[in-house]
């Protein structure tokens, strides 16, 4: 994805623009239908010959339709469109029929606007969700642009626990030309391997870290250490709560002590090594880790590694 247009961003903008245009189209249709309601009601209550080309046709009829609703006492000259719809020898439109016309127009307009409101109420929540996703993505862009090396880790079973929009927003925020490192597991690792085909993959199958369960811990340690320094950022997606007793530490044996969560262990080691970390956790984060909520981004937390006080700089974004 580096060096070319990000399809996630392009597709996202197309959805935003498409829903905005849809709302505008519905509003225009409501206005047009309201004008047509006047004409339809006029035909119903004032039968006769249709407006001729000499009297201006339907164009003049629609432009003058609003005048029916405004005055309290209506007297139409023969040159007006309602008079042309009435019998030729009728110099004025009966007042009773004007009242019926107003009532018909109000009824038809109300039905049309109710239909438009129903349609908009169906689409507006979805449009609001898309706007929220866009705001989150812009905030992530402000964070990611400060780093040149980005490591990803997360749950092996994110389905139903981690929203796809969170993963997609993080992938779309990676600056072009950044070095991306990721593990070899399924789930979150597989997602970012697919997004970044040129990413540096730390695979246990290479044999560099031995065999067995210890190989996965050694692999995770090496992956975190590849991000240390050189403007590195560690991004984690945790689908479960932090194991009790786990704390950030620069000593890998304290973090990878069999707690049962490789995502939290890698995050604890990254924070202990002083790496800036960005975390998405629907379960929240434990106190004392130096992680602060990202403004206007529900579920996202950010920390500056071994310097928790530095998280106050987030307010500058």
β-strands 300-303, 276-280 pairing: antiparallel
> Mean pLDDT over residues 265-272, rounded?
92
The mean pLDDT value for 174-195 works out to: 92
> What is the rounded CA–CA span in Å between residue 175 and residue 117?
41
For residue 275, the model assigns a pLDDT of: 92
Q: Is 73 left (phi over 0), alpha (psi -120 to 50) or beta?
A: beta
- CB atoms near residue 247 (< 10 Å): 13
Q: How many residues does the chain have?
A: 317
Interval 116-137: pLDDT, tens? 667 666 666 666 667 777 788 8
Residues 6 or more apart from 273 whose CB is under 8 A from it?
Answer: 224, 225, 228, 250, 305, 306
Note the pLDDT tens digit of each residue in 23-64: 566 566 666 665 565 555 555 444 444 444 344 444 455 445
DSSP 262: H
Q: What is the pLDDT of residue 104?
A: 58
Q: What is the pLDDT of residue 235?
A: 95
Any idea which of 13-22, 62-71, 78-87, 124-133 has the lowest mean pLDDT?
78-87
pLDDT digits (tens, 9 = 90+) for 238-265: 988 988 889 998 998 888 887 778 899 9
Assigned architecture for domain 145-316: 3-Layer(aba) Sandwich (3.40)
CATH 3.40.50 in the chain, residues? 145-316
End-to-end CA distance of the chain: 25
What tokens were used for 33?
Answer: 């239908």
Helices (H), the chain: 7-45, 57-63, 81-85, 95-144, 164-173, 188-195, 213-225, 252-255, 262-272
Angle between helices 7-45 and 164-173 in degrees, nearest 10: 120
Say what the pLDDT of residue 317 is: 43
Tens of pLDDT along 270-303? 999 999 999 999 888 988 898 999 887 888 999 8
The more confidently predicted of residues 19 and 217 is 217
pTM of structure: 0.60
Look up tokens 């469109």; give the residue: 81
């Amino acid at each position: 994805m580096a060096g070319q247009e990000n399809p996630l961003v392009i597709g996202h903008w197309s959805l935003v623009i498409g829903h905005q245009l849809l709302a505008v189209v519905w509003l225009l249709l409501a206005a047009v239908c309201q004008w047509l309601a006047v004409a339809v009601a006029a035909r119903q209550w004032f039968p006769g010959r249709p407006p001729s080309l000499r009297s201006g046709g339907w164009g003049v009829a629609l432009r003058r339709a609003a005048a029916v609703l405004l005055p309290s006492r209506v007297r139409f000259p023969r040159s007006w469109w309602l008079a042309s719809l009435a019998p030729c020898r009728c110099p004025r439109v009966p007042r009773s029929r004007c009242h019926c016309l107003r009532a018909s127009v109000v009824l038809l307009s109300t039905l049309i606007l109710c239909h438009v409101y129903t349609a908009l109420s169906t689409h507006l929540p979805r449009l609001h969700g898309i706007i929220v996703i866009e705001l989150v993505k812009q905030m992530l862009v402000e964070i990611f642009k400060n780093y040149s090396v980005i490591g990803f880790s997360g749950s092996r079973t994110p389905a139903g626990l981690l929203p796809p929009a969170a993963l997609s927003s993080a992938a779309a925020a990676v600056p072009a030309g950044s070095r991306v490192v990721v593990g070899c597991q399924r789930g979150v690792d597989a997602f970012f391997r697919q997004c970044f085909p040129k990413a540096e993959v730390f695979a246990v199958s290479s044999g560099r870290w031995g065999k067995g369960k210890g190989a996965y811990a050694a692999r995770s340690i090496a992956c975190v250490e590849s991000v240390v320094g050189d403007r590195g950022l560690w991004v984690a997606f945790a689908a479960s709560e932090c194991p009790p007793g786990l704390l950030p530490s620069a000593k890998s044996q304290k973090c990878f002590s069999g707690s049962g969560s490789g995502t939290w262990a890698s995050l604890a080691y990254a924070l202990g090594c002083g790496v800036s970390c960005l975390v998405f956790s629907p379960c929240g984060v434990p106190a004392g880790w130096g992680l602060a909520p990202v403004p206007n981004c529900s579920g996202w937390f950010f920390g500056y590694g071994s310097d928790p006080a530095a998280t106050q700089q987030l307010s500058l974004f």
